[in-house]
Amino acid sequence: MKIDCTDMACPQPVLEVKKALEEIKEDGILEVKLNTLSSIENCKRFAINNGYEIRENKLEDGTTILAVIKGYPCDLPQEKSGNFSNKTFFIKSNSIGSGELGKKLMTGFIKTALELPVLPKNIIFVNEGVLLSTKDENKEIIESLKKLEQKGVAIYSCGLCLSAFGMDANDLKAGVVGNAYETLLMLTNSEVVSL
């Protein structure tokens, strides 16, 4: 089966991939045509997280064909081990409160997360929160986020929010671009700590 998801806004490519995979009743290959870095990464992550093997082929016209392989046995990457809670940190701002104090509180909060005996499973940045994973001025936070990633914490920054600030996946200093579908799944399947 082949589907064309070029020029689709988040989260439509992931939803189209999900729908198409549900239509493939047995073993098969879904070929997805994509043309943005965030849609490619989101669809790859969705496929891998749902147990599918993927192959990626970049074409000369700038598009990518993502082959999602359903049903054939394969070795999939294992999730990193660690001591994780079922918590998702949902960060909606680049500060806790206003002014310099609010920025210092946010820096302290994220740095302290490294010291928790049980780590959060996910950290999701939306709205102005995406500035924490992208801007060089947030060097301390970015270093802490990288360390949390190394320990196995999944870090996502909203693709639509990045676009609103004139940024994309290339601007991320830590984590990956998230999408609305994955975000809603994480929020409904975990205990949410919202900032």
Residue 82 has pLDDT above 70, yes or no: no
The pLDDT value given to residue 107: 94
Q: Which fold has domain 87-194?
A: Hypothetical Protein Ychn; Chain: A, (3.40.1260)
Domain at 2-70: CATH code: 3.30.110.40
Residue 74 has pLDDT above 50, yes or no: no
Token reading at 15: 């939803």
Q: What is the mean pLDDT of the chain?
A: 90
Q: Say if CB 41 and CB 177 are below 8 A apart.
A: yes
The pLDDT value given to residue 51: 87
The pLDDT value given to residue 85: 84
Main-chain dihedrals φ then ψ at residue 90, nearest 5 degrees: -110, 105
Q: Catalytic: 10?
A: yes
pLDDT per residue as tens digits for the range 4-59: 999 998 889 999 999 999 998 888 899 999 999 889 999 998 998 888 999 999 99
| Given 10, 43, 158, 161, the catalytic residue | 10
pLDDT per residue as tens digits for the range 41-53: 999 989 988 889 9
